[in-house]
Amino acid sequence: MVKCKNCGRKAVNDSLLCCHCGYPMTIAKVIPWPRQLWPVVPQQFWKAIIVLSLLLATLAATGIFVYAQRGLSCLYFSYSFALSLVVFFWADLGSRKSLR
């Protein structure tokens, strides 16, 4: 049993706080938070994102072509095509930054 420095009552050895007054029994070790959660992104990650975005762009372009040939609306394919291009350029920029 350990005495609390604040109230003087006995407290359990393993407790972090006094069960009577709530005073901290031990000083907690402060772990510094990393500046960046993901400081170095592996190059394979960017390559996989680029390949997947190009695959999505190819599928969307094929859908646009087929639907346009049939005279149907290809609006949904246009959205996915634009999104795949945005993701591609984002991944390309990210891969270039990680090379520096």
Helix axes 75-99, 43-70, angle to 10 degrees: 160
Domain count, the chain: 2
Q: What is the pLDDT of residues 35-92, one digit of tens each?
A: 665 556 677 888 888 899 999 999 999 999 999 999 998 888 888 899 998 998 888 8
On whether residue 92 sits in a domain, the answer given is yes
**Helix residue ranges, H only, the chain:** 43-70, 75-99
**Interatomic CA distance for residues 19 and 24, integer angstroms:** 10
19 with 47, same domain? no
Instruction: Identify the domain containing residue 69 by its residue range.
Output: 43-99
More confident residue, 14 or 80: 80
